[in-house]
Amino acid sequence: MANQTKPIIHGYFRSSCSWRVRIDFALKGIEFDQVPVNLIKDGGQQFTEQYKGLNPIQQVPAVQIDGITLSQSLAVIQYIEETRRGHRLLPTDPKKCAQVHMISDFIASGIQPVQNLYVLQKLRAEKVQWAHNFIQRGFEALEPILKETAGKYCVRDEISMADICLVPQVYNAERSGCCSVPNKRLNQTVLKVDAFKESHPSCQLDTPAEICT
């Protein structure tokens, strides 16, 4: 390990990408500090010059670890996989590993970006319909894939990066009122795992008191 200092996650309690990293750290047993970046307050704290210096794309999370800053959740997960011991999130079997990457990229690149907060703020009145359209379209396409790959979890019977991507996306879909959710049993099973529960948006440092659990 290059640096014994605890990693720092600059993130937002409801951010899917921030939650992915929190889950990853929890599964690996990595202690970390959090610096809240409120995506709504003051027009969005991610747009400050100070945060832009940390993450030029002005999105969350930004993760300071081992003397570097990483700003994409899947890149963080990949880095942790290669530098830390603990629960493996990328199978050693090439076929299973490819399936994990396929599902993760499907969600992280194909569903989440077109319905995140920055995009929806630009759409104004049409934002709910827009979000539901892309979530439903993505979930309908994901369903047959999961039927082929899933066991207890997204890819057979081991928690992987695919599960880390699926759970936050389902949470956001349900919160927005979207009813089309792939494999509800699968999502409910994963949510029972301690790492997913302790990293949940309802119990973070910056979670508003009225929704804390």
94-197 and 8-87 share a CATH fold: no
Strand-pairing partners, residue 64, are 8, 69
Does the domain at 94-197 match CATH 1.20.1050.10? Answer given as yes
pLDDT band, very low/low/confident/very high, at 15 (cuts 50, 70, 90):
very high
8-87 carries CATH number 3.90.1300.10: no
Give the range among 94-98, 123-127, 142-146 with minimum mean pLDDT.
123-127
What would the pLDDT profile of 32-66 be if each residue is shown by its tens digit? Answer: 999 999 998 998 999 999 999 999 999 999 999 99
Q: Is the pLDDT of residue 123 over 80?
A: no
Closest C-alpha to 164, from 81, 49, 63, 67: 81
Q: Where are the domains of the chain?
A: 8-87, 94-197
Q: Residue 23: what pLDDT?
A: 98
